[in-house]
Amino acid sequence: MKRTLLVTIMLFAGFALLYAGGAQEKAAGEAAGPVKVSMSSWMPLQEVSRDMMLEIERRFEKTYPDIDVVYVDMPFEQRIQQTLVSVSGGNPSDIIHLTASDPFQLVAMGAITDLMPWFRDQLDDIPDGALRTGLIEEQLISVPLQLGTIVVLGMKKNLKAVGLPERIPDNWVDFKSAVRKISALSEKHYGFAARTAKHENSAYWFFPVMYGHGGDFEDADGKIVFDSPGNRAALAWYREIGTTKQTPMGMAIPESRNLFAQGSVGFLFDGPWMLPIMRNQSGKGEGIDPEYTAAPFPKGPDGRSRGINNNHVLVVSKQSKVKDQAVTFIKFWSQDPEITDFHFSKMGAIPAYKSLQARPTYSKLHDLTRAAIEGAETSDGAPSKNPQFSAAKEFIAAGMQAALLGGDPAQIAAQTDLAIRTLYGQ
């Protein structure tokens, strides 16, 4: 029996190995035939977007039969790591799908093409905030694919329960007071679901809080000004909401969305992708739509509303040999009216170009979508274009968490400021 088993296992293994073989990727050395454009993205991977991506590819190749688009799978969470590795290894894709502040590390590595020559005449059509996200010293290193403006969402029933009008407060003072009141409703209620995880994304979501208190990351000359009264006030507010249970602690991003969808939270900062997510996670489908509202960020002490965005952007790698064709696909996906309508219908993706936003498809919109379009002008996706910005955000995340746990805002601001300045070499 034992011997038979052993033999069986070996046969199986041998068989498996036989079929295995070294099935390597053939080097791209096709002489004639369509030009191949490769794109790294997570969209073709995900169940929700895969069919849409295949359809877009099909339509593109029908319109441009001499270009063949090849998708390269890149999981969202590992997109930066995978891109860094593939660039270092000398074989990045022609187009790389990223989010707003990702490209700048690659820019510093000299891995990104300047897209200005292809998009120069379209700059006016891009909302200011989205444009600023991709501009660095006159070079356009990324073009927006869809709007990912971060706005404030609010659960109407919680606002009503504390006697406030069912809309997002106009300025930060009112906002903070609303948060306090909603938290007081019960032990299960939280005024605001802050992103409290130690993640650079969570740190990024702290920026509107900084802006709302009059603080900033760096000044117009690029000097770090993290240790400022505004930021100290922002950290003090985080200390307040962390220690007095106005915000749930230790949640990653998907979980805070879940909590909001369940209805016990007052406000959440998030983007237009929440439309389908809310429908899914609340279990109410489209019935959840009227239950919440959204608006761009409340005004800070200077009377301005200033926000952040997490736009999807597309970049072309410098090593690409098919830049023209790559741009053709980029324009097709992000600017073709039919395709952007299709993208919107499937994923709720808002086109990044103002001329497209004026189309009838976008006439009757949920508060959320309208807020995202409205807020696009004043939201910047990359407040700092320094390649060390990600590492800086790590320090801010640590500081933010220290505040939530009850640390001293002045001390935290000073320490974080010092750490970032050392990082930036200032």
Q: How far is the CB of 55 from other proteins (least distance, A)?
A: 18
Site for other proteins in 176-205 (CB under 8 A): 196-200
Site for other proteins in 13-52 (CB under 8 A): 13, 16-17, 19-25, 42, 45-48
Output 323 or 393, the one with its CB closest to other proteins. 393
Q: How far is the CB of 197 from other proteins (least distance, A)?
A: 6
Q: Which residues, 6 or more positions from 318, have their beta carbon under 8 angstroms from its beta carbon? A: 110, 111, 112, 113
Output 200 or 367, the one with its CB closest to other proteins. 200
> ∠ at Cα 271 (223, 333), nearest 5°?
95
Output 23 or 220, the one with its CB closest to other proteins. 23
78 Rama class: left (phi>0) / alpha (psi -120 to 50) / beta? alpha
Q: How far is the CB of 282 from other proteins (least distance, A)?
A: 6
Q: Which of 35, 108, 135, 410 binds other proteins (CB under 8 A)?
A: 108
Q: How far is the CB of 6 from other proteins (least distance, A)?
A: 9
Which residues are 99's β-sheet partners? Answer: 312
Q: How far is the CB of 173 from other proteins (least distance, A)?
A: 27
Output 8 or 355, the one with its CB closest to other proteins. 8
String of contacts with other proteins for each residue 351-390, x by CB under 8 A? ------------------------------------xx-x
Q: How far is the CB of 274 from other proteins (least distance, A)?
A: 8
Site for other proteins in 278-307 (CB under 8 A): 280-284
Q: Which of 225, 398, 410, 418 binds other proteins (CB under 8 A)?
A: 398
Using the rule CB under 8 A, give the single segment among 5-13, 292-300, 314-322, 361-369 that binds other proteins.
5-13
Q: Which of 36, 61, 109, 132 binds other proteins (CB under 8 A)?
A: 109
String of contacts with other proteins for each residue 114-133, x by CB under 8 A? --------------------
Whether 223 and 426 have beta carbons less than 8 Å apart is answered as yes
Output 118 or 190, the one with its CB closest to other proteins. 190
Using the rule CB under 8 A, give the single segment among 29-37, 54-62, 71-79, 139-147 that binds other proteins.
71-79
Q: How far is the CB of 105 from other proteins (least distance, A)?
A: 6
Interaction between residue 401 and other proteins (CB under 8 A): yes
Phi, psi dihedrals of residue 100, rounded to the nearest 5°: -40, -55
Instruction: Tell me the C-alpha distance between 73 and 68, whole Å.
Output: 16
Q: How far is the CB of 195 from other proteins (least distance, A)?
A: 11
Q: How far is the CB of 89 from other proteins (least distance, A)?
A: 5
Q: Which of 64, 91, 161, 354 binds other proteins (CB under 8 A)?
A: 91
Question: How many residues lie near other proteins (CB under 8 A)?
Answer: 71
**Token digits of residue 131:** 């444009």
Site for other proteins in 227-256 (CB under 8 A): 248-252, 254-255
Q: How far is the CB of 253 from other proteins (least distance, A)?
A: 9
**Token digits of residue 78:** 């590992």
Interaction between residue 263 and other proteins (CB under 8 A): no
